[in-house]
Amino acid sequence: MTDSEIPGIGMGTFRLKGNDAREAVKSALSLGYRHIDTAQMYENESEVGDGITSSGIPRREIFLTTKVWHDHLEKSDLINSLHDSLARLKTDHVDLTLIHWPSPDDKVPMEEYLGALRDAQREGLTRHIGMSNFTCAQMDQAVRILGEGAIATNQVEVHPFLANRKVVEHAQKLGITVTGYMPLAVGKVMEDETLIRIAEARNLTPAQVALAWVASRGVVVIPSSTRATHQKANLEALQVELTADEIAQIDRLDRNERIANPGFAPNWD
């Protein structure tokens, strides 16, 4: 892994609590995952840190991401909250820190929180910086503030029922890697007839087909699972090459079905 690369698949930890989070991280690392994704809002950074520590995998081999919640975006608060995250994660740095959501109603100016994030990078608290749930216009603004090449990723919802094409393509045009969260649409991919049909023909699972489709678009995937069998199958999905016809069939499933849509979300593209 070069310094700027985000591993193509990560272990997502949203909704994982307590020992489930601890064991899921440890299991994923034992299977070969080297990218772990958490956030302050998940309230599991401590357990994620335990899972990493107890895995026996050297910290330097793991790409660890956390995210700053929108109530910590003021300059001094952002840095302090990141120090707290590092203490919970039992590490002196993370590999990637994201702004979890743009400041609701622009209460904190983007210049302030992105400047603080850049300061955190300069202080060595995080190797890379990026954002999550930013629109095309907000990405443009962020690039104007930080300059080209400064933003590692925009993490947004991407799955067969929400292709999120405009944001994905705009980010990639700006040279920003897209990380797709909820790539399995919280399990809904398992019930889709098209994905089931493709999966059965290929001796795969619908989840593997969905992950292969997201990955085929150059998007990093971060599925979440507590079961080792599912974690292993998800990891193997990155070796699946879908045909052009299979991709076209899955492309047609897009129905703009957004799952993560809180009241403070930006005006989506």
pTM of the model: 0.97
Decide: residue 243, CB within 10 A, 0-12 exposed, 13-18 middle, 19+ buried: exposed
Cβ(33)–Cβ(26) below 8 Å = no
Within 32-178, residue ranges assigned H as helices are: 45-55, 75-89, 110-122, 136-146, 165-173
CATH number at residue 157: 3.20.20.100
| Residue 93 annotated as part of some ligand binding site | no
C-beta atoms surrounding 210 within 10 Å: 30
Tell me, yes or no, whether 162 lies in a domain.
yes
The Cα–Cα gap between 174 and 84 comes to: 32
Q: What is the pLDDT along the chain (269 residues), one digit of tens a residue?
A: 334 589 999 999 999 999 999 999 999 999 999 999 999 999 999 999 999 999 999 999 999 999 999 999 999 899 999 999 999 999 999 999 999 999 999 999 999 999 999 999 999 999 999 999 999 999 999 999 999 999 999 999 999 999 999 999 999 999 999 999 999 999 999 999 999 999 999 999 999 999 999 999 999 999 999 999 999 999 999 999 999 999 999 999 999 999 999 999 999 99
Report how many domains make up the chain.
1
In which element (H, E) is residue 29 found? helix 18-31
**Cβ burial 106-142 (10 Å sphere, 16+ → b, else e):** eebebeebbebbbebbeeebbbbbbbbbbbbebbebb
Is residue 199 situated within a structural domain?
no
Any domain includes 142: yes
d(CA 61, CA 192): 36
- Decide if 194 is inside a domain: no
Residue 256 lies in a domain: no
Q: What are phi and psi of 153, to 5 degrees?
A: -160, 160
Q: Is 42 a catalytic residue?
A: yes
Residue 225 lies in a domain: no
Tell me which amino acid residue 130 is.
Answer: G
Among residues 203, 142, 133, which one has the least CA distance to residue 175?
A: 142
CA dihedral 5, 11, 15, 17 (to 10 degrees): -120
User: Which is the catalytic residue, given 33, 42, 113, 181?
Assistant: 42
- Note whether residue 40 is domain-resident: yes
Cβ contacts of residue 150 below 8 Å, gap of 6+?
A: 118, 129, 143
- 143: in domain: yes
- Domain region containing 139: 11-184
